[in-house]
Structure 1
């Protein structure tokens, strides 16, 4: 709505009522004043400027509403709005203010007859003034403009007969009336009664949910257009969408759509879609019932539409899907998604151009996010969907360098990436594992030939991704959001599959490490990446993590865990100084955990994955452990962190990683003859206590000698614990002075006591690890050997009697 609507509304009032406004004597008719031109686009003549200045003076010095309206009418007759510059329009806006249109609406809604004008005309004039004022961004976010939103929303949802249902107290009414009058620019009295419905943030929400007995009455199109203009203007200013949400815009727009109110399809549905695309999670949590009704209606429209209409509805429909976190019952959501898939399948199966196919694939990706493959369809269709996504990726990424990629194509490829990731996730979840709560899906019924076909097209698509990143992306594009989602998709594949395309992946490692390091360092054009990612999300309304420079490395870490276990990729990674990258990430993560002291510290799996990658390097590259200064930095970190982690049960897995990593490093480094370094002594002391804390002095329920506190995480921590015990045995041999610390902390005594009380047979891997450590201790420490020998002689050590190697060692 432009200021032309302001002119039209005022002149319409004059046509129907003449000069019946109290105190106003206006010339009849709509002819412009003599000698003044109204041709749009003409510059103002000298005469027009002179008259306009007089009108503006009259408007600024108006003593009541009647004089204000008369001055407005004269201005519209002097020249059309298209001939007024922004400065002049601003002067008009400042003179009129927001209080006048607000009181016009209040008068119309209350049905007061003191103005001498019909309610419909008051509504038309009030909304037209608000619409014109809202074209100025400062006015659009003014508190008085925001106070009118519940009224405008009520009009749009229930028509011109809407009235507020909320019962107001006298105190509330007085506050609301004073709030309206405070916006009067000239500060003079008014001929319109100063009272209004509650502008509180809850009023609009309530109005949108109440049933009006006259809901069939609809606004005329001009009035509805003015109301939507105000809402749209508010939605584009900073924080405007949040203000609309808190003032009940979602239920009001839902009701307008349900009632088929004026312009609800052309203006209401797009506005609601915009709010959901930005604030979907909050909106669904507050108004799931109303939004479910809109989604049901839009889904029916989509399913019943012809193919071309469905293509047009794809982009709109995905805005109304609920967030991934789920606010609908599982059965209800699956039914709805299943119906949508039934309508989407013919689109995927038909021949269409890439431009037409793009929105279909984006909608398909969103549906996959909601319910996985369970509702997609038969295996043959699942293969087709994956195939079409992979073909689009190849076609989009294998263009020669220098080819521009349109935003629509980027959006389509982002959706294709999600379909590919979902296919990989499904492939990894295949198998007879009955422990999962998810039922076996249709995708699980692929034949061997179909599985090979799917893996083949996925491999071709990821080959195209590698080509794109290697050939078309340089450092200047590291801040490009589409490059980030492409990087993320490749990392998801590398986390599961490293046996394919080995040479191509190894040759791409300089880019992957350089990209991750560049993001960690941050700055420059990387700062806007988070906002773009929110806009490009294929899961509308889903919650978005706050952007940090660590995201890229976090996605890459699972792949690094695999790649560091293989000879050629590991050598390439070490040549790229990946060690310092991993250790720096670990150090920052530990600093972040320390700042959470006193709070419920949350486990960070990425830190554990980084430890796994470092552990691979430690085991396979002993010479580097001895000589590379990066490992000295890592040891200092472990020396500081492990003693503190002993008292943090939520971080048990991280403690196991730190303990194992430190002991594996300790067995390789050439130490002094004794533990003179305080940091190292603290670490080994903490490592001994950590290992001992897993042993139980009472009968446990697990096959291994583990205390109840460890039972829940033993499946995940157990292997690390065993490896740390074996590493401790190696440390006994390389650091003889460590045996004194063992005796000082009674590690041997407590370990033997725990084994003595186990009447049931412990699991073999645990016994082997303990036996290896005990044998090493017996060989390096005569006093320890004697203590073990005495324990074996007692004959009641049920677990020790199975350690034949230990018996041979102490008998020598």
Structure 2
């Protein structure tokens, strides 16, 4: 029996030797050894029972020394043994006298660990169907009297199998489905043997299957995250910086830590740990992971994780992060050589997230409110950082056009241009042609730009919420800033010289197609709608400031046709009211300039558009009794109230534009008569008192009524039938009073 036990110990050595992967430098010895190995493998294949297999494996042990076996040899050994032998070893509960209690299971695990080093065998069904056994082993506790060496080797072999499986996408799915994530969490929480292996495996699975992991093992992952955050808050050695890297992988892209009050402590621990790091003197290797973690936290949690009992402390910490982020951006991007060894796109994109959040706080206040002095100081240092970003744009080569880091840099400058309209204005004008050219390249080359999605995962965890949005849509981030610029003479001239309006129409058309295909969905992603609204703002600026361009460029006739064909589909949807307001007003403003074009010569499309415009303009107001002074007044209709702050200017501008169209389109007054809009206006005027009516509303009604009375006798007759002259005098509408008193 002791001899049998010795044989099994020898088997353990043999299998351990099989798992190494190096080559013997001596070719002559290799040839001799291979001949001997061939004979041993032949014995293995011809073995009639377990004893003969044991003996053959011992022969293999003598032939194959430690460190002298390669993958091909391991495969040959597997072909000789197969899975049936280790499978039987795993289910054998008894052990020979004098051997450790788990010797057979341990030997079976060693065989599987050896086989799993072959990539093909790692996802073999015979390995995959044992994932639950591997999970059970790594979570097991050692029995009393068990051999500790055998016990720990079994765990190590199980981890080796799990690690090999996780190297394959198919294997990762099997691991998550089989409960490996929860098993790994248990190992780490219990600090059992191999807990650092468990943590590394968890990081690997979260990197590739984050959503699936959280869906299957949310409660266990939260416990690990909480434990890691506690360690992060208390550790004061190099482990703190390692935890910085690890914690990034455990923080999902959704703010789950604010869902449960009991998890708020986790955010506090993260705040404590990061403040400790960032307020210390750091070298680059220590600062980088802290900035990446900070960038992720502000992206997902905003200021919720920064809030301290002392508001001053919160402001100080956020200001510290923004300052460090700006300094890091300058250090990396102001290097004219852009030395690749120092250029850290993952760190810089995390810094971008921090800077963008700092901008939001300076502009909006949020929960952290900087003083005016603090805001000015932060804006100054942000100006320097964005100067470095612009400097980087001037050095970009053709090869770097498809670099996802360039996209991230364009995106952050777009955010800056949307909020800050004066600082760096000349510098931004200098790079406007580059930005337009870059956006056009992404828009026109979807195949290459789609490749960005494959690269972005390695760029920055702070940008994880943006992963699905990288493909070819740089314009979405640039449009708000371009909208501001298009209102100013110098940048607008640059936009026009680069034919940005032509690109914008193509983009507008594409976004409308995206919007139209999904607008009936229960939950509509608002990216396309927001892009359409902003594009309307840019077009409106061009219509107001560059009427000659509108007449000359054919693309604007195409835009008008698109607006006219599309408005009706928006008018009756409450959630698309703002977009309907944009389409209406832009279409009316363009109609003033393009009244001679064929589409506006009383066509079905044009009449349908103006019916829609009348509907939008006429339904904006109603009357309401004020119970305080018992007077009836004109108020914004309930359907318009929620959006009125965003559409009121468009409504007033639309009223002016509509009145301008009346003398240019002879068929338009008839559409007004058919809509009964005139009767509705006088109904409002009859019910309310002039003292309750705002002057700008009186002026808006007057401009429409006066043009209709001046250019259409049937409209003038309706106005007179509604006591128009009397109402004009009562409400101080001098222009209307003059029009209705004149004879045709």
- TM > 0.5 between the two? yes
- Looking at structure 1, the residues matched to 410 and 648 of structure 2 have their Cα atoms a distance apart, in angstroms, of 33
> Offset of 1:370 from its aligned partner?
4.5
- Alpha-carbon spacing, 1:292–1:214, altered in 2? closer, same or farther (3 Å): farther
Higher helix share: 2
Q: Is 2:321 the counterpart of 1:336? A: no
Separation in 1 of the partners of 2:684 and 2:150? 82
Unaligned runs of 5+ in 1: 1-12, 32-37, 162-212, 431-437
Deviations 1:129-172 (A, max 9, x none): 222222222222233322211221121123356xxxxxxxxxxx
1:679–1:16 distance in 2 versus 1, CA, 3 Å: farther
Q: CA deviation at 1:418?
A: 1.4
User: Is residue 683 from structure 1 mapped to residue 612 from structure 2 by the alignment?
Assistant: no
How much has 1:718 moved relative to structure 2? 3.0
The corresponding residue for 1:692 is: 618
Distance 1:232 1:680, change over 3 A: same
Q: 1:177 is matched with which residue?
A: none
Task: Output the CA distance in 2 between the equivalents of 1:74 and 1:808.
Answer: 116
Residue 399 of structure 1 corresponds to which residue in structure 2?
335
Q: 1:94–1:785: structure 2 CA closer, same or farther, 3 Å change rule?
A: farther
Aligned equivalent of 1:657, options 569, 582, 590: 582
Secondary structure at the aligned position of 2:153 is classed as helix
The aligned residue for residue 361 of structure 1 is 291
Stretch moving more, 559-568 or 604-613? 604-613
The normalised TM-score by structure 1 is: 0.80
Aligned twin of 1:234: 165
CA distance in 1: counterparts of 2:85 and 2:620, whole angstroms: 75
> How far 1:692 moved relative to its partner?
3.3
Per the normalisation by structure 2, the TM-score is: 0.87
Does residue 386 of structure 1 match 2:322? Answer: yes
Q: Tell me which residue corresponds to 2:19.
A: none
Match of 1:485 in 2: 408
1:5 corresponds to which residue?
none
Q: How far apart in 2 are the matches of 1:780 and 1:63? A: 109
Q: CA–CA distance in 1 between the matches of 2:111 and 2:120?
A: 15
**Alpha-carbon deviations, 1:6-46, whole Å to 9, x = none?**
xxxxxxx998624589xxxx999989xxxxxx995544544
Q: What does residue 132 of structure 2 align with?
A: 150
In structure 2, the residue matched to 1:573 is 495
Is residue 2:499 matched to residue 1:583? no
The SS at the match of 2:353 is helix
Equivalent residues of 1:59, 1:72 under 8 A apart: yes
Change in CA separation of 1:605 and 1:725 when aligned onto 2, cut-off 3 Å: same
Partner of 2:715: 784
Per-residue deviation, 1:56: 3.4
- Distance, in Å, in 2 between the alignment partners of 1:330 and 1:136 is 44
Contact 2:23/2:69, CA 8 A, preserved across alignment: no
Measured in 1, the distance between the counterparts of 2:625 and 2:670 equals: 30
Q: Which deviates the most, 749-758 or 227-236? A: 749-758
CA contact (8 A) 1:281 1:543 kept: no
Give the corresponding residue for 2:352. 417
Deviation of 1:685 (Å): 2.9
CA shift, 1:794, in A, is 9.8
Rounded to whole Å, the distance in 1 between the matches of 2:192 and 2:643 is 57
Tell me if structure 2 keeps the 8 A contact 1:755–1:800.
no
Kindly indicate whether the alpha-carbon contact (under 8 Å) linking 2:361 and 2:370 is maintained by their aligned counterparts in 1. no
> CA separation in 2, counterparts of 1:29 and 1:88?
16
Q: Structure 2: which 5+ residue stretches go unaligned? A: 16-21
Equivalence map 1:789-808=2 (5 Å): 789-792=720-723, 801=731, 803-808=733-738
Cα separation, partners in 2 of 1:694 and 1:599, compared to 1, 3 Å: same
In structure 2, the residue matched to 1:4 is none
Separation of aligned partners in 2, 1:14 and 1:741:
106
Equivalent position of 1:275 in the other structure: 205
1:191 equivalent in structure 2? none
1:47-104, Cα deviation, whole Å (9 max, x unpaired): 4333333443444455666655554444343324754454443343345444543453
Deviation for aligned residue 1:351: 2.1
Cα separation, 1, equivalents of 2:421 and 2:11: 84
Please tell me whether the aligned partners of residues 221 and 262 of structure 1 are also in contact (alpha carbons under 8 angstroms): yes
Query: Per-residue deviation at 1:477?
Result: 0.8
Q: How far has the Cα of 1:627 moved from its partner?
A: 1.1
Kept in 1: contact 2:2–2:98 (CA 8 A): no
- Does the CA contact (< 8 Å) of 2:327 and 2:385 recur in 1? yes
Q: Does 1:375 align with 2:307?
A: yes
C-alpha distance 88-459 of structure 1, shift in aligned 2 (>3 A):
same
Contact 1:139 1:145 in 2 (8 A): yes
Deviations 1:309-342 (A, max 9, x none): 3233321233223433325436444433223322
Residues 320 and 402 (structure 1), Cα distance of their counterparts in 2 relative to 1, 3 Å cut: closer
The more displaced of 87-96 and 379-388 is 87-96
Contact 1:131–1:226 under 8 Å retained in 2: yes
- Cα distance per residue 1:708-731 (max 9 Å; x no partner): 333333332333233222211111
Question: Quick check: 1:758–1:799 contact (8 Å CA) kept in 2?
Answer: no
Cα 1:27/1:474, change in 2 over 3 Å: closer
Aligned to 2:468: 546
State the 1:294 CA deviation. 1.7
| Higher RCO, 1 vs 2 (CA within 8 Å, ≥6 residues apart) | 1
Residue of structure 2 equivalent to 1:559: 481
Distance 1:100 1:774, change over 3 A: farther
Distance (whole Å) between structure 1 residues aligned to residue 572 and residue 30 of structure 2: 83
Flag the 1:500–1:75 CA change in 2: closer, same or farther, 3 A: same
Q: Distance in 2 between matches of 1:423 and 1:94?
A: 61
Distance 2:448 2:145 in 1: 55
Instruction: Give the direction of change, closer, same or farther, for the CA distance of 1:539–1:99 in structure 2 (3 Å limit).
Output: farther
CA RMSD of aligned residues (A): 3.7
Q: How does 1:616-627 map to 2 (within 5 A)?
A: 616-627=541-552
Question: Do the aligned partners of residues 122 and 802 (structure 1) sit closer, same or farther apart at CA in structure 2, a change above 3 Å counting?
Answer: farther
- Give the aligned partner of residue 515 of structure 2: 593
Does the 8 Å CA contact 1:792/1:801 hold for their aligned counterparts?
no
Q: For residue 559 of structure 1, report the CA deviation from its aligned partner.
A: 0.8
Counterpart in 1 of 2:382?
A: 458
Match of 1:768 among 699, 703, 717: 699
Change (3 A) 1:114 1:585: farther
Q: Distance in 2 between matches of 1:47 and 1:247?
A: 45
Equivalent residues, number: 721
The range that moved more, 270-279 or 569-578, is 270-279
Summarize the Cα distance change of 1:238–1:606 in structure 2 as closer, same or farther, 3 Å threshold.
same
1:636 aligns with 2:558: no
Q: Secondary structure at the match of 2:423?
A: coil
Q: Are 1:251 and 2:182 an aligned pair?
A: yes
Whether contact under 8 Å (2:356, 2:415) holds in the other structure is yes
* 8 Å contact from structure 2 (residues 278, 321) kept in 1: yes
- Write the distance in 2 (CA, Å) between the matches of 1:264 and 1:214: 23
CA distance in 2, matches of 1:220, 1:27: 16
Q: What CA distance in whole angstroms lies between the structure 2 residues aligned with 1:246 and 1:630?
A: 54
Q: Indicate the residue corresponding to 2:459 in structure 1.
A: 536
User: Matched residues in 1 for 2:639 and 2:147: separation?
Assistant: 65
Match of 2:676 among 727, 738, 746: 746
**1:625–1:631 CA contact under 8 A, matched in 2:** yes
* 8 Å contact from structure 1 (residues 586, 610) kept in 2: yes
Quick one: structure 1 residues 658 and 762, their matched pair in 2 at CA, closer, same or farther if it must change by over 3 Å? same
1:521 paired to 2:444: yes
